[in-house]
C-alpha cells in the first residue's frame, strides 16, 4: 500500500515535470552570413543545443532605382551543406522602400521571382527539408498595403506546396496591432532585439534593454498570429563621428579597442579615438566615438521572463540571432539551455 502511494507520488511528480517541459520552446538559430560553411564548432554547438532548425538568410531584396524593380542582393553562397541541420528555413529580408516603390500590379511577378530564386538556391541543398519561408520586413503605414498583398500571394502559393509562411514582428507591431496591422501569414517571429535608439550616442544598449522591452510587453498579451521568439546573441560596435552614427562594426570586441595609444576608454562600454587608425577596414579619426553593445546572460533571462508572461504559449520556437564562431564562444550551450528552461518553468 505504502509502495503504491510512493509510486503514484512519483508518477504525479514526473507528470508535473512533463507538463512543465512541454512549454519549453524548441531551439533554432539564424545564420545571417553570405557564406555558408559551418565550422565543426558551430555544428557541434547546434547539435549540443538540440537545435534542429537553422534559419538561413538566402538573400535580401532592395529596390533598384535604375531598373525600377526589386532585385535580390547579397545572395547566399552555400560552400558546404553537409553540416547543416535537417531542416532549413530560408529567411529573406526585404527593405521597406521596396514596398513603398513597387506598383501593386508588379507584386505577383515579384512574388514569382522571389519563389523561383528560393527554389534555385534550394536546389543546392539536397536532402534538406524546407517546410517554411520567412519574410523579414519592417513595414510602415505607407508600405503596408503592398507588403500585405505580397504576403497574401506568397502564402497562397506556399499553401499549395504544404509550406508555411512566417514573418518577423517588431515590438511596436506587437503592441499596436490596430495601428500597424497584422500581416497575413501563418506564424510570426517576435524580434526581441534592436529595441533602442541606435542613432543616439546616449543610448545605453540598443540591442536589448529590459527597461525598453518592459514598456512593450504586458502580461497575457494577445496577438492574432502564433508567435515564435527571436533573441539576440550578438554584439557590435556603434561608430559615431561628429555626433552622428555612421557605422556598425559587427561582433566588435573590447580586446580590439585595448591599445591605449589609439583608444581612450570613457566608461564601461564607451571609447574615444585618440589617434587616427584603421579598425576592421574603416579609417577612424581622433574624436570618433565607439559604443560597444552586447547582450548579457542576465538581460536575456530577464527579457525571457517578460516574454514568458507576456505571451504564454504551449508550443513555440526560440530562435537565437545569430550563429557564428563568436556566438559559440560568448554564449555557451549551457546558457542557451538556461534561457530555454525559463520558458519551461511553471509560472
Partner 1 sequence: MSPIIKIISVLLISIIVSIPNQISKGCGPVDYSFKGYHFFDTDLVRTGSPFTDFFLRFDDFYHSYELADSVRNTSNLQEWNTIFCDQFYEKEIKEIVYGPVENIQAIKRAAEKKKNKLGLRLNRNSFARHLVDYQCMETIQYLLFAKSCEPHVSRNRNAWDAPKRDPVAMKALIYEGERVFLKLKSNNLKLRYAYQLIRLAHYATDYTMALDLYDRLLPRIDPVESIVHDWILAHKAGVLSRSGQNVEAAYLFSLVFDRSPSKREAAFQSFSIQNEKEWKACMLLCQSNHERATLHAMRASEHHSKPVGDMRAIYALDPENENLELLLAKEIKKLEKDFLGIEFNRYQKDNAKYHKIPRKEATANLIDLTQFVIQAGKEKKVRRPELWRLAEGYLLYLSNDLYDADKVFKEVEKTLTNEKLQEQLAVFRLVLKVTNYQEIDETKEQEIAQIIKKNDLYEKYPEFEKFINDKLAYEYLRAGHAGKAFRMHYSLEAIKPNPQANIINDLIEIALNPDKSKFDKILTTNKDGTEMVDDLLDIKGVMLWNRGEAAAALEAFKQIPVAQRGENRFNPFIERAKICIHCEQPDSLMIYNRPGILERIFELEFQANSDYANSASYFYQLGLAYFNLSYYGPSWNAMDYFRSGNNWRYAKSDIFEHWYFPFGNKENHDLSKAKAYFEKVLEVSKDRERSARATFWLARCDWLTYVTSSGYRAPRNSNYLPVLPPEYRVYYQQLEADYAETDFYKWVIRECKYFQAYAR
d(CA 167, CA 162): 17
CB atoms within 10 A of CB 283: 9
Q: Is 287 in the site for partner 1 (CB under 8 A)?
A: yes
d(CA 58, CA 201): 32
Binding range to partner 1, per CB under 8 A, among 29-37, 166-174, 275-283, 311-319: 275-283
Interacting residues with partner 1 between 183 and 222 (CB under 8 A): none
d(CA 310, CA 216): 9
Q: Which is nearer to partner 1, 24 or 71 (CB)?
A: 71
> Nearest-CA neighbor of 93 among 112, 72, 64?
72
- CB 300, CB 332: distance < 8 Å: no
Tell me 52's DSSP state: -
- Least distance between partner 1 and beta carbon 347 (Å): 31
Pick the binder of partner 1 from 37, 156, 218, 285 (CB under 8 A).
285
Pick the binder of partner 1 from 120, 172, 218, 315 (CB under 8 A).
120
Q: Is 67 in the site for partner 1 (CB under 8 A)?
A: yes
Pick the binder of partner 1 from 66, 202, 268, 314 (CB under 8 A).
66
Q: Is 278 in the site for partner 1 (CB under 8 A)?
A: yes
> Nearest-CA neighbor of 91 among 131, 124, 60, 126?
60
Backbone φ and ψ of 337, nearest 5°: -65, -35
Backbone φ and ψ of 317, nearest 5°: -105, 150
- Least distance between partner 1 and beta carbon 24 (Å): 37
- Least distance between partner 1 and beta carbon 282 (Å): 8
Q: Which is nearer to partner 1, 71 or 128 (CB)?
A: 71
Interface residues with partner 1 (CB under 8 A)?
64-67, 69, 71-72, 75, 113-114, 116-117, 120, 178-179, 181, 241-244, 246-247, 276-281, 283, 285, 287
Amino acid at each position: 500500500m505504502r509502495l503504491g502511494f510512493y509510486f503514484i507520488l512519483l508518477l504525479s511528480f514526473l507528470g508535473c515535470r512533463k507538463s512543465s517541459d512541454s512549454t519549453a520552446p524548441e531551439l533554432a538559430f539564424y545564420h545571417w552570413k553570405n557564406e555558408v560553411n559551418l565550422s565543426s564548432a558551430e555544428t557541434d554547438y547546434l547539435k549540443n543545443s538540440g537545435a534542429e532548425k537553422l534559419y538561413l538568410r538566402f538573400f535580401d531584396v532592395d529596390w533598384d532605382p535604375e531598373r525600377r524593380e526589386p532585385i535580390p542582393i547579397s545572395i547566399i553562397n552555400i560552400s558546404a551543406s553537409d553540416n547543416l541541420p535537417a531542416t532549413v528555413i530560408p529567411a529573406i529580408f526585404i527593405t521597406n522602400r521596396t514596398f513603398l516603390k513597387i506598383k501593386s500590379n508588379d507584386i505577383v511577378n515579384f512574388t514569382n521571382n522571389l519563389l523561383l530564386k528560393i527554389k534555385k538556391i534550394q536546389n543546392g541543398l539536397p536532402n534538406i527539408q524546407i517546410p517554411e519561408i520567412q519574410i523579414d520586413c519592417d513595414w510602415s503605414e505607407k508600405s503596408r498595403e503592398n507588403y500585405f498583398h505580397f504576403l497574401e500571394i506568397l502564402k497562397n502559393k506556399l499553401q499549395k506546396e504544404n509550406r508555411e509562411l512566417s514573418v518577423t514582428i517588431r515590438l511596436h507591431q506587437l503592441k499596436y496591432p490596430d495601428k500597424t496591422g497584422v500581416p497575413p501569414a501563418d506564424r510570426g517571429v517576435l524580434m526581441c532585439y534592436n529595441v533602442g535608439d541606435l542613432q543616439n550616442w546616449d543610448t545605453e544598449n540598443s540591442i536589448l534593454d529590459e527597461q525598453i522591452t518592459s514598456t512593450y510587453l504586458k502580461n497575457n498579451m494577445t496577438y492574432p498570429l502564433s508567435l515564435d521568439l527571436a533573441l539576440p546573441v550578438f554584439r557590435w560596435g556603434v561608430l559615431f563621428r561628429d555626433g552622428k552614427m555612421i557605422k556598425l562594426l559587427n561582433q566588435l570586441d573590447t580586446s580590439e579597442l585595448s591599445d591605449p595609444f589609439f583608444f581612450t576608454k570613457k566608461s564601461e562600454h564607451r571609447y574615444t579615438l585618440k589617434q587616427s587608425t584603421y579598425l576592421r577596414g574603416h579609417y577612424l579619426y581622433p574624436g570618433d566615438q565607439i559604443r560597444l553593445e552586447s547582450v548579457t546572460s542576465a538581460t536575456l533571462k530577464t527579457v525571457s521572463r517578460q516574454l514568458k508572461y507576456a505571451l504564454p504559449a504551449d508550443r513555440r520556437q526560440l530562435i537565437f540571432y545569430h550563429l557564428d564562431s563568436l556566438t559559440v564562444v560568448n554564449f555557451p550551450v549551457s546558457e542557451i539551455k538556461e534561457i530555454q528552461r525559463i520558458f519551461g518553468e511553471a509560472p
